[in-house]
Amino acid sequence: MKAIYLFLGLCLTSMVVFAQSESKSRSGVSKQRKSISIPMQADRWEFAPQKAEFVTYKNVQGMKLLPKSGPVVLKDFIFSDGTIEFDVEQTESTFVGVYFRWQNAMESEFVYLRAQRVNNAKAIDAIQYAPIIGGVNMWDMLPLFQGPALIKEKEWNHIKLVVSELQMRVYVNNNAHSTLEIPRLEGNTKQGTIAFEGPAVYANLIVKPGEIEGLSTTEGIDLTNHDSRYIRSWAVTKPDSLPMGRELLNVKAFPTKETSWESIQSERQGLVNLTRMYGKSDSRRYVWLKTTIKAKSDLIRQVRMGFSDEVWVMLNGNPVYVDKNLYGAILMKPPFGRCSIENTSFTLPLKAGDNELLIGVANSFYGWGVIARFDNLDDIELAEK
């Protein structure tokens, strides 16, 4: 009997030792991945000559970016998911921010502060998330991804990003509540390095790979998915040049029987994202969008539309609406020149049977695309995918 007890005791001791060893091993792995402190040293960063200084500022090692520095990129680093934290104190009233999943200047994700909004906790655009797609900052196409934040002047601002595959939360100055909640990251990249841009001192950069704080890895809900009034299925032409001062209806640059078309579907929020399809417009250019609306009888329907930058709407070959949404100009639409379903509305006089809806869209400034939604679908049918 004593031998049996001794044997059981040895087994239990071995199990405890193994469990402790396994716990230490796992703890060691966790600690190894838990926190990476990135030094603000010149040899760790790529930057243009005389555009970055590495200084001791307020008793911490910092990186001071000068005006028009461009992105300053962390060397030999890959980030996909986890937590990014840093402190930033802006030196001028302009934009300062962090890129992540940075592949190059054409493709990355970007979160930035509008330092012009310092000490204004109610400014709706104090902080913004915007993907960089094809070299285009999509800030003007995604107004839902901006919000208020109390940005402190002449003090450190602590920024924390929690990135979990398709979702992200952003915290400012240790607030317990997230400042931004992004249900779906819209960039094309899944991993990449980190970069900073904007005149400021950056310090205390810490990355915690895999630390997602319980945030879901799948995309969040898009409530417009339940709204059948959005026009989601279109055909689109290839972009063509439209010199400044010329109008589509005046130059009669209409599609012909020989025009080639390609299918395009709206993305989240009903956005027909022409930037993702055609990239950056280095000069003013346009496309035509086309869809078919079937009506049971002659009737009039209201359409709400968001757009950037200019539109020419035609129904069955006749112009019905022309407008511009030019940021900083008299014709800028609310909200603040962004593409939003709030931009405008107009009526469509539909005839019984099939109706061809054409929308010419021109762009020369940041992102481009349209959102179109009927007031109701009584007695009409929209084209399907």
> Over the stretch 52-68, which tens digit does the pLDDT of each residue have?
999 999 999 999 999 99
User: Do 199 and 272 fall within a single domain?
Assistant: no
Number of domains in the chain: 2
State whether residue 9 is helix, strand or coil.
Answer: helix
In a domain, 171, yes or no: yes
Asked if residue 154 belongs to a domain, the reply is: yes
Q: Of the ranges 9-18, 121-130, 314-323, which one carries the lowest mean pLDDT score? A: 9-18
Phi (first) and psi of residue 257, to 5 degrees: -65, -25
Angle at 214 between CA 212 and CA 220, to 5 degrees: 95
How far is C-alpha 8 from the geometric centre of its chain's CA atoms?
60
- Verify cis geometry, omega within 30 degrees of 0, for the bond prior to 309: yes
Burial group, residue 247, by CB count within 10 angstroms (0-12, 13-18, 19+): middle
163: pLDDT strictly greater than 90: yes
Q: How many Å apart are CA 363 and CA 252, to the nearest integer? A: 18
- Please report, for the domain that includes residue 297, its CATH number: 2.60.120
Q: Is residue 16 part of a domain?
A: no
In a domain? residue 331 = yes
pLDDT digit string (tens) for 288-338?
A: 999 999 999 999 999 999 999 999 999 999 999 999 999 999 999 999 999
Residue 274 has pLDDT above 50, yes or no: yes
Both 265 and 159 in a single domain?
A: no
Structural domain of 349: 223-382
Q: Which residues pair with 84 in a beta bridge?
A: 161, 207
Q: What confidence score (pLDDT) does residue 17 get?
A: 37
User: Strands (DSSP E) along 251-352, which ranges?
Assistant: 262-265, 272-273, 285-295, 299-308, 310-315, 318-324, 344-350
- Indicate if 173 and 285 belong to the same structural domain: no
Task: Say whether both 178 and 275 belong to one domain.
Answer: no
CB-count exposure of residue 308 (10 Å: 0-12, 13-18, 19+): buried
Other residues' Cβ atoms within 10 Å of the Cβ of residue 383: 16
DSSP string covering 68-111, please?
Answer: T---EEESS--B-SEEEEEEEEESSSSEEEEEEEEEETTEEEEE
Enter the tokens of residue 282: 């280095």
**Chain segment 225-251, per-residue pLDDT in tens:** 999 999 999 999 999 999 998 998 887
DSSP state of 224: G
Whole-prediction pTM value?
0.88
CB 113 within 8 A of CB 180: no
| Judgement on whether residues 166 and 58 belong to the same structural domain of the protein | yes
Residue 198 belongs to domain with CATH number? 2.60.120.560
User: Does 132 share its domain with 202?
Assistant: yes
Nearest to 159 by CA among 92, 75, 95, 98: 98
- pLDDT averaged over every residue in the chain: 91
Q: Which two tokens stand for residue 223?
A: 């409530």
Residue 253 clears pLDDT 90, i.e. is over it: no
Phi, psi of 44 (to 5 degrees): -95, -5
Give the CA dihedral 152, 154, 158, 163, nearest 10 degrees: 80
Q: Does residue 369 contact residue 273 with C-beta atoms inside 8 Å? A: yes
Cis amide bond preceding 335, omega within 30: yes
pLDDT of 9 > 70? The answer is no
Lowest mean per-residue pLDDT among 5-14, 137-146, 218-227, 235-244? 5-14
Contact 100, 71 (CB under 8 A): no
